[in-house]
Structure 1
Amino acid sequence: MWNARRNGRWFGWGCLFLSCSILLFRSAAVLRKNHFSEGKVLLQRAAAQAEQLSVDVMMPLLFYDGKEDGRGWMENLLAAVRDQIPALREGSTAENTLSAGTEAAETDTAKQDSNPGPGAERGQTESKEQGTEEDQKDGTQKDETQKDGMEITEPEQTETGITEPAAGESASTAEPEAPQSVPEETIETGGAPREILYPEADTIQETISPDLLADPQALLNRFFVVDPNTSVLPGEIDGSTLLGKDLTLPENAEGPQILIYHTHSQETFADSRPGERADTVIGLGDDLQELLEKQYGYEVLHITEAFDMKEGCLERSRAYNYAEPVIAAALEEHPSIQVVIDLHRDGVNGSKRLVTEINGKPTAQIMFFNGLSRTKESGELTSLPNPYQAENLAFSFQMEYEAEQYYPGFSRCIYLKGYRYNLHLRPRSVLLEVGAQTNTVEEVKNAMGPFSDILHKVLSGKSPASGG
């Protein structure tokens, strides 16, 4: 018996030694082939992924992209290493494909046939007493975010790993019949003429039944995804209350009315060029600012500070905490600001693409994100109050309502999470996820036209869909 145990132990050590030797040999081959440059990058990436993975698994909810997929820690770690070593990756393609399909099924709830279904993922964790309002934005597997971090410490998820509804992974639903945009054209608005950069939708494509609006549970199932860490109270999801909230802006206001910023400024897309601002979420903010100013006449303040970079390194774990005083100071300096948009892109399974078609163009789908300052474990988070929760929920719902009627399939859902994500600084605050890391720059830029249209419909109160 003793000899058998000893032999088994030596056999185990022998297998481990052999495996390590193979890994070292393969890595050395890569290093020699590329003069160490590519190998260095691969090893750095593997180390970074391993570190992130260890934090995700061993310290759940610390990072926004933290999402457990049900696999063991060692299995996840080996998968991360395998992704960076070509020889190992080739042998596991079939396994990875199957795993990706399983994970996508677990983390997404499809909104099919323009019916948003419940089910999504976002992680948000605020440090238990007051902590980082960043760590808990949990989404669909943010590799880089449900949406690649709370004041009790909000972990981030959707790279946004938010658990997200798989709103038609490449749904192409009905779209408004509108002419192609003609940048040279202008329209008189009673003041200065404005450019037409995007053809506004003026025909309702899908009517939402009054019966649906009158049924809180049906409304919740159709338009919302509630994260498992939080809960919705009776009366919070009421169609007439949400649509009845007056969110219009006064005309001819002096000073900026809309603020755009990016808690995660380093988020990029599938074909982003390194170092190109235009290919990042900041560039996306530039596009949105141009549309809102030139076509709709709003004055927009765009803050481009990198809250997720510290001393030249990516640091996402406290980005929401770093952003809060800067945004609060901007709002104090510009009391005219009535709308605050934290612009992100989501993070999803690598095999999934959030695309629909609008006006004949491939367009990234969007998702609205709201924090309820309430968790199932702790109840109401009195240390993280959000006095504007009702207004912000109504703001998201009214935009979702316009999107569903004018651009069916464009919006994935409204995701509800347990914390607040700096949405407590102003009424009409929204965290917006545009596409994901699998979308192209063209697709996310195409989404800014329809989004600016539905935003203007809500802020102007002139939408036929809402009785304006």
Structure 2
Amino acid sequence: MGKKDRPKKNRYRAVIAIVIAGIVFLTFPRAEERNFRELLTENAELELLNALCPVIAAAGDNGRLSVSGWIFPFLGYQSKTKTAQLAQENSDMVEKILLAEGRDEYTGMSGDDTEKNAPTDGRNLSLEELARLENEQAGGQKSGQNGVAGGSETDGSSAASDREGQSSGGIETRPGDSQNETGDTANSSGIGDFTAFLPEKQRTYNWSELTSYDALVREFYAIDPATAADETQLNQKALLGRVLSVQKRTDDQPQILIYHTHSQETFADSIPGNAQTGIMGVGEVLAEILRKQYGYNVMHHMGQYDVEKRDYAYSNSLPALEAILKENPSIEVVIDLHRDEVAEGTRLVTEIGGKKMARFMFFNGLSRTRRLGDIDSLPNKNIADNLAFSFQMQVLCNEYYPGLTRRIYLKGYRYNMHLKQRYLLIEMGAQTNTYEECMNSCVPLAQMLDLELSGKTDFTLDPEKG
């Protein structure tokens, strides 16, 4: 063979070597569990293979590659097989995510078999440290671990709640009955006919002391070990710089939607078979307070999406919610009201104005887990507003009613929070609370909602960070 033919032959050999190496790489056994980033890489490899095959095959048909008779049909088969395999793995992973999301958003138990042994980056507080900080924030209650950790909290009053009870403001209720949409009595405690007085602030935040990500997390958040947040989301400007107030409507169109992804959640003294003594009954109390005391048009959706089991509850409820919002474009605020589940020895209770109230928690989904990264199948363009809404509500509650709320909990899935900018997922007490404790908490909750939605807030950012 002449010297002129050698470079051409070497090029053909190099092409064949690259193709064979690609086949070996693509067919080499992989771990059964694959995350989305790995699948994305494999999809890129597959696209390159599909792009190269026709070119190389054409060269073979022109007599330039004698191996085309056996290698290229095999490459085509591998390409189709890989496409089907990746499609199935993507589908399986999405199915796992929807199952885990719907199973629960409880803060004391994961229920998520896709995120076991998730690593941490050191930003998450230990359960013991989180418990200590929450107890200090609540005014020094004597307790073991908090509800997030599954420990015990007191069922009496704290120093903070004693101060609240002695303040010039507080909560006052008068007997009466509240009627829901079906005409049934919404509660038996007479909280529907009430007068709420705004108390004096018990504290005011000095935002110059909370400029860092770590400071904000320590003061306001509990981050589930399976997810991760960062400084781009949790910073003063992002959380306090958004205006989320609304104009009250003068017509009869609904402005606030309250519903329950997990409608079957009950309390320690709920009556079996009586939905009005479970979380849906508490939702009607909150709706009535917002209607009668504050003049909001509230729709309380009583759909049930977890009757047989909790699996897929969020994806089950999504079509109905989308239909409601499409039929009622006037709705600007959505509240998904739940109750948490904690260890049986835990009591999420504080006392305000002589009344025992269930402590509640604002909850956010980030559509991101440590192991999977950003979950493309659960997009949420409203995450920034969702986070700002819950944060501003938390600040108000902490300033007016220290100890009433638990830390904002951040977890990895979406929880239908993409539907609206002003979307709150609230964990009202837990299964160890009484129905009355949860009803009582609806009064200050509605009060803080009105402050937020009316724009009656005075958040002052640090001038250097704002």
Q: Smaller-chain TM-score range?
A: 0.5 to 0.7
Is residue 67 from structure 1 mapped to residue 90 from structure 2 by the alignment?
A: no
Higher relative contact order (CA 8 A, sep 6+): 2
Is residue 216 from structure 1 mapped to residue 213 from structure 2 by the alignment?
A: yes
> Residues 421, 253 of structure 1: CA spacing in aligned structure 2 closer, same or farther, 3 A cutoff?
farther
**Alpha-carbon deviation of 1:435?**
0.4
> Residues 177, 464 of structure 1: CA spacing in aligned structure 2 closer, same or farther, 3 A cutoff?
farther
Q: State the partner residue of 1:229.
A: 226
| Maintained 8 Å contact 1:170/1:353 | no
Is residue 266 from structure 1 mapped to residue 264 from structure 2 by the alignment?
A: yes
**Alpha-carbon deviation of 1:170?**
5.2
Aligned residue among 105, 113, 130 for 2:136? 113
Using the alignment, how far apart are the partners of 1:60 and 1:179 within structure 2?
40
Aligned residue among 238, 242, 247 for 2:239? 242
> Residues 426, 377 of structure 1: CA spacing in aligned structure 2 closer, same or farther, 3 A cutoff?
same
Q: Secondary structure at the match of 2:326?
A: helix
| Maintained 8 Å contact 1:167/1:409 | no
Amino acid at match of 1:256: P
| Maintained 8 Å contact 1:402/1:454 | yes
Amino acid at match of 2:399: Q
**Alpha-carbon deviation of 1:61?**
7.9
Using the alignment, how far apart are the partners of 2:102 and 2:459 within structure 1?
41
Using the alignment, how far apart are the partners of 1:413 and 1:166 within structure 2?
16
Q: State the partner residue of 2:172.
A: 181
Q: State the partner residue of 1:159.
A: none
Using the alignment, how far apart are the partners of 1:207 and 1:306 within structure 2?
40
> Residues 341, 109 of structure 1: CA spacing in aligned structure 2 closer, same or farther, 3 A cutoff?
farther
Using the alignment, how far apart are the partners of 1:320 and 1:165 within structure 2?
28
| Maintained 8 Å contact 1:177/1:359 | no
Residue by residue, what CA displacement relative to the aligned partner does 1:187-227 show, whole Å, maximum 9, x if unpaired?
Answer: xxxxxxxx972423241111212223323211111100111
What aligned pairs does 1:327-338 form with structure 2 within 5 A after superposition?
A: 327-338=321-332
Q: State the partner residue of 1:372.
A: 366
Using the alignment, how far apart are the partners of 1:165 and 1:463 within structure 2?
34
Using the alignment, how far apart are the partners of 2:445 and 2:280 within structure 1?
16
Q: Secondary structure at the match of 1:434?
A: strand
> Residues 462, 60 of structure 1: CA spacing in aligned structure 2 closer, same or farther, 3 A cutoff?
closer
| Maintained 8 Å contact 1:111/1:166 | no
What aligned pairs does 1:342-381 form with structure 2 within 5 A after superposition?
A: 342-381=336-375
| Maintained 8 Å contact 1:170/1:354 | no
Q: Secondary structure at the match of 1:415?
A: strand
Any stretches of 5+ residues in structure 2 without a counterpart?
1-98, 112-126, 141-145, 177-191, 462-466
Runs of 4+ with >6 A deviation: 59-62, 104-107, 164-169
> Residues 408, 328 of structure 1: CA spacing in aligned structure 2 closer, same or farther, 3 A cutoff?
same
Report the TM-score, using the length of structure 1 for normalisation.
0.63
Aligned residue among 317, 321, 328 for 1:323? 317
Is residue 206 from structure 1 mapped to residue 206 from structure 2 by the alignment?
A: no
Is residue 405 from structure 1 mapped to residue 399 from structure 2 by the alignment?
A: yes
Is residue 462 from structure 1 mapped to residue 462 from structure 2 by the alignment?
A: no
**Alpha-carbon deviation of 1:251?**
3.0
Amino acid at match of 2:109: K
| Maintained 8 Å contact 1:109/1:167 | no
Aligned residues: CA RMSD? 3.2
Residue by residue, what CA displacement relative to the aligned partner does 1:225-272 show, whole Å, maximum 9, x if unpaired?
Answer: 111111112221112331121000023354111000001111111111
Bigger mean CA offset, 405-414 vs 207-216? 207-216
Residue-pair matches, total: 321
Amino acid at match of 1:231: A
Computing the radius of gyration over CA atoms, which structure comes out larger, 1 or 2? Answer: 2
> Residues 232, 252 of structure 1: CA spacing in aligned structure 2 closer, same or farther, 3 A cutoff?
same
Q: Secondary structure at the match of 1:113?
A: helix
Q: State the partner residue of 2:288.
A: 290
> Residues 252, 348 of structure 1: CA spacing in aligned structure 2 closer, same or farther, 3 A cutoff?
same
* Identity %, equivalent residues: 42
Using the alignment, how far apart are the partners of 2:102 and 2:259 within structure 1?
23
**Alpha-carbon deviation of 1:327?**
0.7
Residue by residue, what CA displacement relative to the aligned partner does 1:349-381 show, whole Å, maximum 9, x if unpaired?
Answer: 000100011111110001000001111111111
Q: Secondary structure at the match of 1:222?
A: helix
Using the alignment, how far apart are the partners of 1:457 and 1:165 within structure 2?
33
Using the alignment, how far apart are the partners of 2:151 and 2:215 within structure 1?
16
Any stretches of 5+ residues in structure 1 without a counterpart?
1-58, 70-103, 118-138, 141-145, 147-162, 186-194
> Residues 182, 432 of structure 1: CA spacing in aligned structure 2 closer, same or farther, 3 A cutoff?
closer
**Alpha-carbon deviation of 1:443?**
0.7
Amino acid at match of 1:403: C
Q: State the partner residue of 1:130.
A: none
**Alpha-carbon deviation of 1:107?**
9.5
Using the alignment, how far apart are the partners of 2:382 and 2:101 within structure 1?
25
Using the alignment, how far apart are the partners of 1:346 and 1:272 within structure 2?
15
| Maintained 8 Å contact 1:259/1:301 | yes
**Alpha-carbon deviation of 1:447?**
0.4
